[in-house]
A = this chain, B = another copy of it.
Amino acid sequence: MSLDLAAIRAAHDRIRPHITRTPVLANARLDAACGGKIFFKCDNLQKAGAFKARGAANAVFSLSEAEALRGVATHSSGNHAAALARAAKLRGIPAHIVMPRNAARPKVRMVEAYGGRLTFCEPTQEARERTCAALLAETGANLVHPFEDERVMAGQGTAALEFLEDVPDLDAVLCPVGGGGLLAGTAVAVRSLRPAAQVIGTEPAGADDAARSFHGTARVLMTDPRTIADGLRTTIGEPNLALARRHVHDIVTVSEAAIIAAMHLLFETLKVVVEPSAAVPYAAVMEGRVATAGRRIGIILSGGNVDLDLPLPWARAHPPS
C-alpha cells in the first residue's frame, strides 16, 4: 500500500481543474452547544454533490491514453456512480455503471445526466459484483472500485489537504465511514501534515462493521445494515481497515435519532443540504462520543444528495401538527 502524502498531493494537482475547492463553514450556536470550535469542510457542495468527485476524478485522470480508451466501470448504488460518470464525461470516455434496481431515483438520474451507461442488477452484493465482472470482461473497461482503489483513496484525501490548508490547527478530524475510502485518505493526509490531530471515524450503530472490525481482530462483514445513512451501509474494505488500524484514533457509532437530529440542525444552522451520511460526524458530537470542550474539531461534510421531493427525515419522523 503506497498511499502517502505525495500521492495525495499528486492527486490534488491532477484533479484541481475538475473539482470545487469547497468552503469551510462554522457556526457560533453549534460551538456554544459543544464548548469547542467546529469547522465544517463542505464537500456536500462538491461537484456531483459529494467528496466522491475527488477520488473518481483522480482515478480517471490517472489512466494512460491507451487505458482510457477502454473506459471505466464500477458498481455503486450512490454517489461514486455519479462521480465516476462525471469524471469519465470530462475525459470523454465511456463509464459503465452497475446499479441495483432499487437505487434511489435522484442518484440514477444523476448518472444518466452525466451520460453513464447503466446496467441494473438485483440488489445484492453478489449480483453487483457478478454483473460488473461480466461487464469488465465484455468491454475491457478499467474497474474503479468505490473505495478499495488507491487512486480513489488518494483523491478522497485531498479534502483533508485543503481543510488543513484553511484551518491548520485542528485537534481532531471526523469523517463518516462506509467502505473507508474517505477515512483512509483523510487519515494519511492528517497524520502526515498534523500528527498531533486525531482522526476519528464515525458510523451508524445500525451499520457498525468498521467500528467492530477496528476494535476487534478480524474484519466484520455488514450483511444487514439498518440505517438511514445510505452511503454508509457497505462493509469497510480490507486495505481501508488496514490503514485505519495504522492511522485512525478511534471509530465511534451513533444512533439513528442522532443522525436525523444532526441533519436537521445542520440544515437549520449552516444553511446547507446534507445527506444523512454527512450528518453522522456531527451526530457523534451531539451524542458526546467525541471530546469537544476547548478543542478545535474538523468535520468533513461528505455529501448533499438528498431526495428533496420527499419530506425531510425529521418531518417524516415527527409530522408537524
Residues of A within 8 A of B (CB): 20, 23, 25, 28-29, 44-45, 47, 49, 113, 264, 267-268, 270-273, 304, 308-312, 314-315, 320
| A-B CB contact pairs (8 Å), 29 listed | A20-B25, A23-B23, A23-B45, A25-B45, A28-B47, A29-B113, A44-B271, A45-B270, A45-B271, A45-B272, A49-B271, A264-B308, A267-B273, A267-B308, A268-B308, A271-B273, A271-B304, A272-B272, A272-B273, A273-B273, A308-B312, A308-B314, A308-B315, A309-B314, A309-B320, A310-B315, A311-B311, A311-B315, A312-B312
Residues of B contacting A314 in the complex (Cβ-Cβ under 8 angstroms) = 308-309
Chain B minimum-CB-distance residue to A272: B272
CB distance from A39 to the nearest CB of B (A): 13
| Distance between Cα atoms of A162 and B117 in the complex (Å) | 42
Q: Which residues of B contact A20 (CB under 8 A)?
A: 25
List the B side residues contacting A311 at CB < 8 Å: 311, 315, 320
Q: Bound complex: CA of A272 vs CA of B25, how far in Å?
A: 12
Q: Which B residues lie within 8 Å of A25 (CB)? A: 20, 45
A247 to B167, CA, bound (A): 40
Residues of B within 8 A of A113 (CB): 29
Give the nearest-CB partner of A29 in chain B: B113
A58 to B: closest C-beta gap in Å: 19
CB distance from A317 to the nearest CB of B (A): 11
Q: Which 10 A-B pairs have the closest CB atoms?
A: A271-B304, A23-B23, A271-B273, A44-B271, A309-B320, A45-B271, A267-B308, A272-B272, A268-B308, A267-B273
Identify the closest chain B residue to A264 (Cβ). B308
A225 to chain B, nearest CB (A): 25
A13 to chain B, nearest CB (A): 22
Using A45-B25, A45-B270, A271-B44 as known contacts, say yes or no to A310 and B320 having CB atoms under 8 A apart.
yes
A48's closest neighbor in chain B, by CB?
B28
Q: Tell me how far the C-beta of A307 lies from the nearest C-beta in chain B, rounded to whole angstroms.
A: 9
Other than A25-B45, A45-B270, give 12 A-B pairs with Cβ distance below 8 A: A20-B25, A23-B45, A49-B271, A267-B308, A268-B308, A272-B273, A308-B314, A308-B315, A311-B311, A311-B315, A311-B320, A312-B312
